[in-house]
Structure 1
Amino acid sequence: MDLFLYGTLCHIPLLRVVLGREPEVLPAVLPDHAVFWSDIGAWPVLRQGGAGAEGLLLTGLSADEQARLDFYEAGFGYLTEAVVAHAAGTDRTALVYRPPTGAGVAAPWSLADWVHDWGAVAVATAGDMMALMGLRPAVDVARRYPLMLVRGASRLRASHTAPTSLRRTAGPGDVTVARFHQPYAHFFAVEEYDLTFRRFDGQHSPQINRAVFVSGDAVTVLPYDPLRDRVMLIEQFRAGPMGRGDPQPWLLEPIAGRVDPEETPEQAARREAVEEAGLALGAMEFIGSYYPSPGAKSEYIYSYLALCDLPDGVEGVFGVEGEAEDIRGHLVGFDQLMALVSSGEVNNGPLLLTALWLQRERGRLRSGAVNPR
């Protein structure tokens, strides 16, 4: 059976990942239909009525390939039905994925706009989705799709890797994965790999098992007022120290949060500053980007310091309603900040790194400082 494709699956790089091969397609039209943006997200909705929905006719579809497409679509409630599409000058019976009953629509669909905003992230995420076929039900994978987009965006940023002037430059075949397993997937995920890697003597290691805690990329930003020579720290309860057995699980930190798939790390920092401290940040200084715990975590952090106006009284209690956030702000002078570092009360890695960076750059930031508003 042929398949009429519309919306995102007309993006050939995405279709190639989902299908598992180079697709054979023809330009096609589904009469008396139209395609719209969903009114709740960046995906297409097919509606009956209209001048005709433009798309592609996928031919030469095997049962296994149909199963791959079903896995990708069915978890979102898109199910197939037979239609008559027009392609290559003739009418042809084909399957089409119908959206869930009652799906709302917004503006007419634009594939070019979707590709510009979401195409690369969706392709990266599709690879992660298809790797779970046979391991997890499609509906469970679809339920985590927004979180998986965060991981897909992280993959794209990771592709712009740091230099390898001293360390090994990895090549094809240097790491071979024999088995992939995902024992846990909720807000975060845990992935297990049976793998071998190339040793420094040129031989491959014995097969080993490694687990990776997947949490996506994150950003931290420390607001600094160069005129008043003070910073804004935030304090909140953290489950990690609690799980370690730390009797003091409230930590002093910079403002921090996950980088969403549609934003840059700097945009995420500015958003988080509003959510966690009610602050509009001024000019931002990039400190560095790094893996905080590469032995087990995929998390990659972008750290910044931001110039900011921090008068008395701006501290308070903040957090996004509905996310169980309870975040208290503290105005802290530079000398007190460094005393907290020395005493060990600052025991958050990004804040330690940022405080030491500020210690080095403080003179430059304060020389000729003006009100950053």
Structure 2
Amino acid sequence: MGCAALAVTIPVFLYGTLCHLPLLRVVLGRDPQWRAARLPGHRVLAVEGESFPILVEGNGIARGILLEGLDRADRDRLDFFERGFGYAPHATLVETEGGDRVQAMVYRPQPGRWRAGDPWRLGDWVRKWGDVTTLAAQEAMALYQAGQGDRMAQRWPMMLMRAGAAVRARKSEAPATLRRPCAPGDIVVDHWSQPYANYFAVEENDLRFRRFDGGMSPVVNRAAFVSGDAVVVLPFDPVRDRVLLVEQVRMGAHGRGDPQPWLIETVAGRVDGGETPEEAARREAREEARLELRDVLPVLECYPSPGAMTEYLYLFVALTDLPDTAAGIAGADDEHEDIRVHVVTFERMMHLIETGEINTAPLILLAQWLSRERERLRAADS
């Protein structure tokens, strides 16, 4: 990502994501002194498969900012954040916009760690990743404060996923015509902790909340299972009147003690950081069913179990072609998925719901919506 200093008295040249001042403010915990600077003979290129850049020698000028007046606490915070992405500090000579040549520290990745791609531009990155990465960095720096720095690198993709969910939640319309509108001070968190985090996380809060009589509750302890947002998409072929279903073993059913942990569902998956729900729906269809979707139709959004889970679902029906060859074995190898893809008639799906063989709530909701809209979709497609 951006670059940072190791020595207290040497300035720091930043060329990447840390040039986004809201993100830098989170990492440092304060607003630093900075001025525009550049590093001749270098280019800033995107890292393939990642959102952050890499510094590569060659014709060009790498433009960024020069941080000055850093103390040891600043160095420790910058070093922690950059180390999570495999970057280490190196001395270099940079030029300021005023023409001064300044000895500075710049962070470069470990040799062979990342592969350079296309040119990277801060403005493009800010539009797609700025809010999400800044929010994820808050969770990362909370690990630093808790002395759990060794866990930051492995958690970063999940932090981005959870941050993306939080950004979408803050931008939602959140109507309140019957329910109580939340006002500042209605929920006060006295203590927050994260006793577990891997692909999912568990967060505990000691908090007080506004009661319906206007007073504040006593301090209560509440835990939440944090999993990020997810998409569920039911592929439907309006010409053949078929749907695509997937079958795989599910740990929720296994953990409950269900004698039949292989469940019938439809295409689903997490929304990655920087991704829109529709982009996630199309990606998951390719990964889980080798399927390209045509029209992706929003059905509804909902919390499946808000008493303890932060999960928020975006449900879609997608129009596509489902020939016999769409069935088979699929799944993402790097995620060790073993998925059997079924192509069945609409009537067969409804029968499986009636018998209880389909017992996953998102699929049942989508099936009921499709039952109502099916004839309209078939007539429009024909």
- TM-score for the superposition, normalised by structure 1: 0.89
Give a deviation string over 1:203-235, Cα, whole Å, max 9, x none: 222212222222221111112223333322211
Query: Structure 1 53/286 Cα, relative in aligned 2: closer, same or farther at 3 Å?
Result: closer
Question: Residues 1-373 of structure 1 correspond to what in structure 2 (within 5 A)?
Answer: 1=9, 2-30=11-39, 33-39=42-48, 41-47=50-56, 52-87=61-96, 88-103=98-113, 104-161=115-172, 162-370=174-382
What one-letter code is carried by the residue in structure 2 that aligns with 1:252? I
Give a deviation string over 1:266-309, Cα, whole Å, max 9, x none: 22222222222233222222110111111111111111112233
User: Percent identity of the aligned residues?
Assistant: 52
> How far off is 1:129 after superposition?
1.2
What one-letter code is carried by the residue in structure 2 that aligns with 1:98? R
Contact 1:18–1:126 (CA under 8 A) maintained in structure 2 = yes
> How far off is 1:368 after superposition?
4.5
Give a deviation string over 1:68-101, Cα, whole Å, max 9, x none: 2222112223233454444455444443333324
Contact 1:281–1:307 (CA under 8 A) maintained in structure 2 = yes
Contact 1:233–1:252 (CA under 8 A) maintained in structure 2 = yes
Distance 2:57 2:239 in 1: 62
Aligned alpha-carbon RMSD (Å):
2.4
Distance 2:185 2:319 in 1: 46
User: Match of 2:106, SS?
Assistant: strand
Contact 1:135–1:181 (CA under 8 A) maintained in structure 2 = no
Give a deviation string over 1:226-282, Cα, whole Å, max 9, x none: 333332221111010100111111111111111222432122222222222233222
Aligned residues: 370
Distance 1:311 1:233 in 2: 13
Residue range with higher mean Cα deviation, 250-259 or 109-118? 109-118
Distance 1:221 1:110 in 2: 33
Distance 1:231 1:267 in 2: 20
Query: Structure 1 239/173 Cα, relative in aligned 2: closer, same or farther at 3 Å?
Result: same
What one-letter code is carried by the residue in structure 2 that aligns with 1:131? A
Give a deviation string over 1:139-188, Cα, whole Å, max 9, x none: 32122212221222212211122322222222222222222222222222
Query: Structure 1 51/253 Cα, relative in aligned 2: closer, same or farther at 3 Å?
Result: closer
What one-letter code is carried by the residue in structure 2 that aligns with 1:159? R
Query: Structure 1 167/33 Cα, relative in aligned 2: closer, same or farther at 3 Å?
Result: same
What one-letter code is carried by the residue in structure 2 that aligns with 1:192? E
Distance 1:47 1:64 in 2: 29
Gaps of 5+ in 2: 1-8
Query: Structure 1 99/282 Cα, relative in aligned 2: closer, same or farther at 3 Å?
Result: closer
Query: Structure 1 241/102 Cα, relative in aligned 2: closer, same or farther at 3 Å?
Result: closer
Distance 1:258 1:128 in 2: 19
> How far off is 1:39 after superposition?
4.6
What one-letter code is carried by the residue in structure 2 that aligns with 1:284? V
> How far off is 1:10 after superposition?
0.9
Query: Structure 1 221/73 Cα, relative in aligned 2: closer, same or farther at 3 Å?
Result: same
Gaps of 5+ in 1: none
> How far off is 1:32 after superposition?
5.5
